A and B are shown apart, each in its own frame.
Chain A
Amino acid sequence: MKDSLMLYLHVPFCVKKCHYCDFLSFVCGEETRGAYVKALCEELRVRGGEMKGRTVSSVFFGGGTPSLLSPAQISVIMEAIREIFVLSEDAEITMECNPGTIHGDAVDSKAEDKVSATAEAELERLVGYRAAGINRLSIGLQSMQEKELELLGRIHDREAFLRTYEMARKAGFSNVNVDLMNALPGQTPESWKETLEEVLSLSPQPEHLSVYSLILEEGTAFSEWERQGKFTGKLAIPSEDADREMYAYTGRRLAQAGYQQYEISNYAKPGHACRHNLGYWTRKEYLGLGLGAASLLSEVRYSNETRLDNYLADPLAGRQEEALGRKEQMEEFVFLGLRTTKGVSRRTFQECFHEEMDGYWHEVIQRNVADGLLLDDGETIRLTAKGMDLGNYVSAQFLLDD
């Protein structure tokens, strides 16, 4: 019997594009969202249909901003999933959401107490998501500093996040992630520490934290501003040294607060590591649905059509595929595994490929151990703290010649 499957569903809509974001997402209206849900369900029925009855251990609504879909829409999708697959009892079902998007269109702008009306509307929607089956919520906060939020182009302020967080707990979400960013223009180790402390002072503390250091992606407003020289002086991007200082501090501080780092950018309270995230690094099979979504199925990597009009016209057309050869599978096994703190197991490699890992990388392993980038206990290899800073440098050495 095959291993369980993970599902990824992409929701490419946002209220507004953030200045740093190069994800596949854009602004669009209610009508398009409706059409999209229809197309997504159609894709799900056909592609899922080919694997009917398979056990699904994790579902992830990512975006974009999935919370722009109503509980009813999420529910329709969840129902379709349940019709096709066997959703395991302890399945992790995550939805990403952004503060300031969750109240839907329900709030009457003429309402006397707008804040409490918004909170009420949010609570109602969150309860709805919960009822649809979502059991893990991932909230995009990024920073607690108003200036940084504004610079990033986020639509919410600190207050809006605190409200959403409170309502999420009230709605019964007991597994919550908060997304944070560092190495932002103008950010200092001090302002980062403040953000982190404030997040840790939430009650109850988030079960999971994702901390990404900013990458200037081609084609974003940020990369344009960088070129124009805007990120200097007070808006200087932290130096590599400062960046690494923040990273190291984050690891130490979160460990103190009872979080375990399980991946380069992810930290969780015991038992709350994101199974979906770990699944990517351990090469579990996943079916990605929706615009531009990626899949790994039977050692073939797929990626969906990226143009919305094409996708809406035919959600099954335009999918690209790349079959992974044995060499690629072995390389992925190592460079994906190295992202986790658990590292790469020789025994698992042997089980998967019926060959010794050291037959390929004995020298590479030795060299990186000598350089202080890898730890090798004889069974597993994993990155040291310095190795985490230089993850790409280490991983590139594990690519095999043709």
Chain B
Amino acid sequence: MSQIDQSKIRNFCIVAHIDHGKSTLADRIIEQTGLLTSREMQAQVLDNMELERERGITIKAQAVRTVYKAKDGEEYIFNLIDTPGHVDFNYEVSRSLAACDGAILVVDAAQGIEAQTLANVYLALDHDLDVFPVINKIDLPSAEPQRVIEEIEDVIGIEAQDAPLISAKNGINIEEVLEQIVHKIPAPKGSPDAPLKALIFDCVYDSYKGVIVFCRIMEGTVRKGTEILMMATGAREEVVEVGYFGAGQFIPCDELSAGMVGYITASIKNVKDTAVGDTVTDAKNPCAEPLPGYKKVLSMVYCGIYPADGAKYPDLRDALEKLQLNDASLFYEPETSIALGFGFRCGFLGLLHLEIIQERLEREYNLDLVTTAPGVVYKVHKTNGECIELTNPSNLPDPSEIEYMEEPIVSAEIMVTSEFIGSIMELCQERRGRYLGMEYIEGTRALLKYELPLNEIIYDFFDALKSRSRGYASFDYDIKGYEQSKLVKLDILINREEVDALSFIVHADSAYERGRKMCEKLKDEIPRHLFEIPIQAAVGGKIIARETVKAMRKDVLAKCYGGDITRKKKLLEKQKEGKKRMRQIGNVEIPQKAFMSVLKLDDKD
């Protein structure tokens, strides 16, 4: 490959609120620059995780390189990095932003600016990226492009008059976006001859190639045979292959030089040697200082993850190790539960992140898991002056040793049209929110500001918000800090035995309500046994709620004949299969999903 002219490279990403059409625009850019013919195109080209296509969301940042022949007759190399839109994945977003020089902001012509539009734009501006807006979905009957343009200028304060008016879905005006990429996104800087300095923005593990490092070269050049040094971990390896990203495939090339985005393999087998955010340099000619990297993210939500089959513990450990490589925001450490045996306490950025990890572990690593109710990190101040950070409710010290407890509080911004302000305020009130104020963005839309305890929003706040605003409200939050709170541990007893994996921390005022609902929920989840099973909720040893699972009376196929035998067998197999998805606690079998039932306690909506 001949030397690439740095001035003809454009490294950019697309940022948007979820569902505003980011991945669709990425698809169109790939298609129109001719990387793939439309016959090869499938929706969401960059979302190659099965899970992403199913849910229609982007979880992982993905990169692709494509070549565009601009109207000025020159060919430009586009490195497009697709990013997730959900607040949980801000970490992924900021990783990709660091590898870019500019960003396209996609705004829905009907919905206008949403909470995550703002969050993502500010993130991009924080990274010193040049941002230009694109108005998408202009062919919708409810599209109001002019209003949205004004909104962008008023609220975000960036020039939007010449924003391309497009429909990514129907391929309208994509050419104009391509031209603006050329003109509005700056070319990368950096000298190809300086000592190597490259930022790792992602990694994947491949069973043949080992760890594949995704990086943006800031300075210098890397090629096959270069001895590289990972500046944070100190690992040294010889480069086996360098290359760039085709659509869904890795394309080897001779070298990567300053300004380019690509991958490096170096037969790195130990996944711990590679850290996202680390700087790669030339071991023989190192750069003076590493790049700033990313700020270490803090896990917001914790839960216990256990293998359904205890013997699979080592598999779960390996899977977590490999997933963490690909998702540095995942935290885990070993723990033991009386009910569930050996497992891990895992930390996540949010509940969606938790769900995604859980599903990836199950699908990509073929594991059968038991997940316990998610919780946040509490600070427990003990009477002896010690302060512990509590991530697992079972570790709560005896109440007599506790001076006071603190819980994390977030500042939340909720954007909502005026007709739903009342119901959203009511929701925040129910969730122990503290009203801070309200600003009108324009005539009919307001930005509500609240402080909310994190443990009130991790479960189903987002769903509740959507359903109480007919889908119109959007939401973003930042961790503000810790505040003292009246918290208690709610224990669940099944057949008079306390099940540690079902305990959770709750505000004292809602303990009774939660306990009652939890018992009801478990009554529905636990199948009938040969004997009656009491389910009780207790706070500090005092029973506050009770339900009973009645004994099984009838389980028989009355009518059965010759042709039914295969069917009967299937029925029995299903029954047996169901048993496999149970955990034996004492002499009671509890379905795996019951451990998450605390999540579905809100029946309000």
Contact = CB atoms under 8 A, between A and B. Distances in A.
Nearest to B566: A301
A265 B559 contact: yes
A392 interface: yes
Given A62-B561, A294-B562, A303-B563, A332 B569 contact: yes
Contacts of B558: 212-215, 264-265
Interface string A57-82: 00000100000000000000000000
Interface string A35-54: 00000000000000000000
Interface in B538-566: 552-566
Contacts of A294: 562-566
A339 interface: yes
B579 interface: yes
Contacts of B555: 389-393
A277 B557 CA distance: 15
Interface residues of B, number: 24
| SS of B interface (majority) | helix
Interface in B562-584: 562-566, 568-569, 571-573, 575-576, 579
B530 interface: yes
Nearest to A401: B576
Contact of B572 (A62, A390, A396): A396
Interface string B482-497: 0000000000000000
B112 to A, nearest CB: 42
Contacts of A280: 561-562, 565
A371 B530 contact: yes
Given A265-B559, A286-B562, A240 B554 contact: yes
B576 A293 contact: no
A392 B572 contact: yes
Contact of B554 (A244, A292, A328): A244
A392 B563 contact: no
Contacts of A388: 556
Contact of B576 (A322, A389, A399): A399
| SS of A interface (majority) | mixed
A108 interface: no
Given A294-B566, A301-B565, A303-B563, A392 B553 contact: no
Contacts of B564: 294
A243 interface: yes
A392 B576 CA distance: 10
Nearest to A371: B530
Given A371-B530, A389-B556, A390-B555, A396 B576 contact: yes
B67 to A, nearest CB: 52
Given A396-B576, A399-B572, A399-B573, A390 B554 contact: yes
Contacts of A396: 572-573, 575-576, 579
A8 interface: yes
Contacts of A390: 530, 552, 554-556
Contacts of B573: 396, 399
A171 interface: no
Given A215-B559, A339-B560, A396-B572, A322 B554 contact: no
A371 B530 CA distance: 8
B575 A392 contact: yes
Contacts of B559: 212, 215, 265
A277 B579 CA distance: 31
Contacts of B572: 335, 392, 395-396, 399
B554 to A, nearest CB: 5
A293 B573 CA distance: 22
A322 B562 contact: no
B146 to A, nearest CB: 50
Interface string A233-256: 000000011011000000000000
A121 interface: no
Interface string B378-403: 00000000000000000000000000
Nearest to B559: A212
Nearest to A390: B555
Given A243-B554, A393-B530, 14 more contacts: A62-B561, A215-B559, A240-B554, A243-B553, A244-B553, A264-B557, A264-B560, A265-B560, A335-B568, A389-B555, A389-B556, A390-B552, A392-B556, A392-B557
29 contacts: A215-B559, A243-B554, A244-B553, A244-B554, A264-B557, A264-B558, A264-B560, A277-B561, A280-B561, A280-B565, A292-B563, A294-B563, A294-B564, A301-B565, A303-B563, A303-B566, A322-B566, A331-B569, A335-B568, A339-B560, A389-B553, A389-B556, A391-B557, A392-B571, A392-B572, A395-B572, A396-B576, A396-B579, A399-B573
8 shortest interchain CB distances as A-B pairs: A294-B563, A391-B556, A396-B575, A240-B553, A212-B559, A396-B572, A212-B558, A213-B558
